[in-house]
Amino acid sequence: MTLVDELVAILGSERVTVDQFALHLYSKDAGASRGHADVVVFPHTSEEVAAVVRLAAARGVPIVPRGAGTGLAAGAVPNEGGIVVSTTRMNQIHEVDPVNQTAWVGPGVINLDLSVATAIHGLHFAPDPSSQSVCTVGGNVASNSGGPHCLAEGSTVAHILAVEVVLADGETITVGSGAPDPIGLDVRGVLVGSEGTLGLVTRTLVRLLPNPPDVRTLLLAFDTVEAAASTVSGVIAAGVVPAALEMMDQRMAIAVENWLHAGLPVDAAALLLAEVVGETAAVDAEADVIRRVAAECGAASVSLAADEDERALLWKGRKSAFGAVAQAAPDYYLHDTVVPRTRLVETMASIYEIADRYRLVMMNVFHAGDGNLHPLIAFDSADPDETQRVHQAAQEMVEVCVSRGGVLSGEHGIGLEKRDLMPLLFTPTDLDAQARLKECFDPTGVFNPTKILPEGSRCFDLGSRFVPEGAWV
């Protein structure tokens, strides 16, 4: 039997596709690279996933797990061919436990759907990537997604209590617990953010947070990017950690305003969107602190969203910013790096300089509160020269961030996109340790091969001579 025949035997013909259009769609994610899917499957249960994984392992075919495909780091690109396993049909919210403020959910559940479904209990799932209306919880787990509100609440990993995962040998295990501090090594913590390279998560126990009793959302306008960045640092220094603290530069504000008519001040060099949540007395006091700091930093204007509609419009402007870029050029390259908050101003200056030097149209909308930059370069991929310049500029931007004490990715992941930049941050020994960790889960490289770690990472054999005979390393 062929691979496809065997997959059909497991899943039935409707949930196995080799249709050319489907293979085309599933051969890339929301980033720029394209691979080649041999076949795409849509399992419903962890048993089906396990059967598919066993088959792939037996045939030596890669498994590429895929959620909604909104990733930007090519983490879901089947660059080595193989079986793309879409989790979109494992989209059940199995159980919501309002007393313990948790829910067991399938990996294909859409992020926003989860918060909508738990709103009846006054609860929500805190990670809120811009793509939250389409991205999946499984994808969030794989890339340890962030979003504006992880400034105060942490990234996805802080909201995942347990995962059921199918390992490379087809075994299904559950790690973590709804009880605090499960005993033994934190395997759950390693699986979150592993970009589908260690196993395929088939169920997740998520932590839900109580919806805050009150909220204040402020829009602050500045004449310089520096003044906006100083306000970010100043607010934190004043002892306030807002729920979200987002920055948008003038170019992005113009693009969004043209498209959405949200009333953004387009004459300002930079805008800050700040949100504080909690008890009424707390949010009033914290909003005052933000206003005061902004005034001290020379804010041109400060306005408070008067009601939920105004607040929703401001957030719509923020979260749909990337769509607005279509006006500028057919394609965009969205970057994701992090620098220490105190290095924001100088890093922004360097990033503008790089974009100008490469003659590129760049806009910025990003999570300023945690130093997570998202320079967005609009370009036309039909122009090979421009495309080349985009890639060169992108690499320089990463190097600048790392030289300022930053890291390669804050929330999108490494995937293929930044794999070869890992040595900027890690020594060969560090990378070797990570490669060994990968081998613990997936010794034959079934899951999402060639992602995260550059080729040759497993270079050290320092310890292997000490391995006792028969030990499984």
Partner 1 sequence: MSSRDATAAEHDVTTAEMPDDRVTPTTEEEVAELLSEATETGRRVGVWGGGTHRDMGYATESDLVISTAGLAGIVDWEPDDLTVVVRAGTPIVELEEELRRGGQSAILPEQPGAATVGGVVATGVSAYARLRYGPTRDRMLEVRAVTGDGRLVKGGGRVVKNVTGYDLPRLFTGSFGSLGVITSVCLKLWPLTEATATVRLTEVPPLRLVHRPRAMLETAEGVRILLSGTGPEVEDQIRRLGGEATSGFDYPAPLDGPLVWSLRIRPGLLGDALARLPSGADFVAQHGVGEVAFTAPVDFDIADLRGWAEGEGGAVVRLRGTSAADPWGTPPPALEIQRRIIAAFDPRRIIEVGRLPGRI
CB of 342 to partner 1, least distance (A): 5
CB of 168 to partner 1, least distance (A): 11
Residue number with CB closer to partner 1 (245 or 355) = 245
Residue number with CB closer to partner 1 (377 or 431) = 431
Q: How many CA atoms lie within 13 A of 10 on its CB side?
A: 24
Reference 397, options 427, 430, 352, 365; nearest CA is 352
CB of 203 to partner 1, least distance (A): 14
Q: At what angle do helices 384-403 and 344-357 cross, to 10 degrees?
A: 160
CA distances from 295 to 220, 231, 235, 244 (A): 10, 9, 11, 19
CB of 226 to partner 1, least distance (A): 15
β-strands 331-334, 83-86 pairing: unpaired
CB of 134 to partner 1, least distance (A): 19
Residue number with CB closer to partner 1 (73 or 360) = 73
- Which residues make beta-bridge pairs with 209? 124
Give the span between the Cα atoms of 100 and 120, in whole angstroms. 15
Residue number with CB closer to partner 1 (361 or 424) = 424
CB of 69 to partner 1, least distance (A): 18
β-strands 102-105, 83-86 pairing: unpaired
Residue number with CB closer to partner 1 (250 or 372) = 372
Residue number with CB closer to partner 1 (88 or 144) = 144
CB of 427 to partner 1, least distance (A): 7
Contacts of 378 (CB under 8 A, 6+ apart): 325, 328, 329, 331, 332, 360, 361, 362, 363
Residue number with CB closer to partner 1 (342 or 392) = 342
Return the H-helix or E-strand segment holding 275: strand 270-278
Residue number with CB closer to partner 1 (195 or 386) = 195
Tokens of 155: 């990234």
Residue number with CB closer to partner 1 (191 or 264) = 191
CB of 334 to partner 1, least distance (A): 15
CA dihedral 301, 304, 306, 309 (to 10 degrees): 100
Give the span between the Cα atoms of 331 and 333, in whole angstroms. 7
Residue 381's identity, in one-letter code, is S
CB of 142 to partner 1, least distance (A): 10
Residue number with CB closer to partner 1 (21 or 472) = 472
Residue number with CB closer to partner 1 (171 or 353) = 171
Tokens of 340: 């220490």
The DSSP string of 132-169 is: TTT-BHHHHHHHT---TTHHHH--GGGGEEEEEEE-TT
- Which residues make beta-bridge pairs with 271? 221, 248
CA distances from 462 to 301, 423, 440 (A): 60, 19, 17
CB of 145 to partner 1, least distance (A): 8
**Helix, strand, or coil here: 322?**
helix
β-strands 209-210, 123-124 pairing: antiparallel
CB of 335 to partner 1, least distance (A): 14
